[in-house]
Amino acid sequence: MLPALLAKTAGSDAWISAGIGTLVELAVLYIALTVLHRNQYTDIYATLRGTKSPVLGQAIAKTVLTAMFAMFLLQIFILVNQAFYLLNENMFESIPIKFFAIPMLILGVFFCFMPSRAIFRSGEIFFIFIIIGIALSVFPAVTNIDVREVLPIFGSGVGASANAFYLNLIYFESAFFLLMFMGDIKIEKHFRKKFMTTAVILGAFFVFFVFMFCALFGPLASFKQIAVTDLTIYSNYITASGRLDWLLVTMWLLLLLLRFGITFFCAFKCLKYVFDFKFLKHKHEFISFILAIAVYFVSIFVFVTSRDVARFIGAIPGLIVALYVAVPVLFLVISLVKRGRKKNV
């Protein structure tokens, strides 16, 4: 849904907004990888709490993790709505979100009981299906690109491109969640180099994807809901067979569900650190179920449609920018301070 959201503000310059967002995302990713590299033997809570004053350390740790939880929670609502839209627009005539949200939240709770290694292995298993989904939906439409639709560059003004990125920064939050796996990721040789190379390639592809989206649909780009499925109208072999179209949607749904499970896991982990609940025997189960119930009721009563979510995000863009940038930078500062202490010792 991001290309259409960018196009609503930046028009045919949405691909420039995507480029700005990608550069910022790559910068945050590099910071996150640096933090992971320097804190490979401690988890996120221990890293934040590492101060001479235990009370102050706990207060700082819980404050930062609460802020991160808010970001993950907002991402959860976005993913529920995107998956709902993807299925409701392409597979079902009408399915109430109150029924649709239940299996997604069961999946989220299931992820809470998975070890980090199993979560990353799931990504590796689904990777080939995601690549096939991208290839089938994107590349057949390349020959229909009309570059005139995106000219003149900055036709909507430089400010519009920057504003589109600013209002939709939450959708560029692909690096933020890695901080939650601090201490769980094995740091191999050339760790950052390999990661950043892959990210740059994917980032360049994403910018090209948004460029292609604008070049294909022109002024109508802002009215499209799901960019990937809208591109299938340019693929004759897909539109000629409804079954293949369904297969394509299913592949993209796998990606959304995987990301939803990871995001739900991160939100759960934040809550687990913030609230001790030492008096509970089954703390793990209690937190995951409470989180699922809370998300369910907010999804069916507050964020019922993607417009509701977009309206809320549009009301707090400054706060999202502050959290998205400040939290990784804070971790980097902590890592540098720790490194300085070790050198002095």
Q: Which of 196-218 are b and which e, b meaning 16 or more Cβ less than 10 Å from the residue's Cβ? A: beebeeebeebbbbbbbbbbbbe
Which pLDDT does position 243 carry in this prediction?
A: 52
- Whether the CB-CB separation of 213 and 231 falls below 8 Å is answered with yes
What's the CA gap between 320 and 169, in Å, rounded?
Answer: 7
Place of tokens 């609230």: 275
Instruction: Tell me the two tokens of residue 185.
Output: 């990721």
User: Of 345, 327, 336, 338, which Cα lies nearest the Cα of 60?
Assistant: 327
With a cut of 70, which residues of the chain have pLDDT below it? 51-55, 89-93, 229, 232-246, 279, 339-345
Q: Which residues contact 302 (CB under 8 A, 6 or more apart)?
A: 308
Helix, coil or strand: residue 95:
coil
Is-contact 54 39, C-beta < 8 A?
no
Please give the distance of CA 240 from its chain centroid, rounded to a whole number: 33
Alpha helices in the chain (DSSP H): 2-10, 14-38, 44-49, 54-90, 97-112, 116-138, 158-167, 191-217, 227-230, 236-239, 242-274, 283-301, 306-315, 317-344
Query: How far, CA to CA in Å, does 93 sit from each of 84, 85, 203, 281, 304?
Result: 12, 11, 34, 44, 17
Please give the domain boundaries of the chain with CATH numbers for all domains. 2-344 (1.20.1740)
pLDDT of residue 156: 82
Rg (alpha carbons) of the chain, rounded to whole number: 21
Residue 116 has a pLDDT of 84
Q: Are 216 and 88 in contact (CB under 8 A)?
A: no
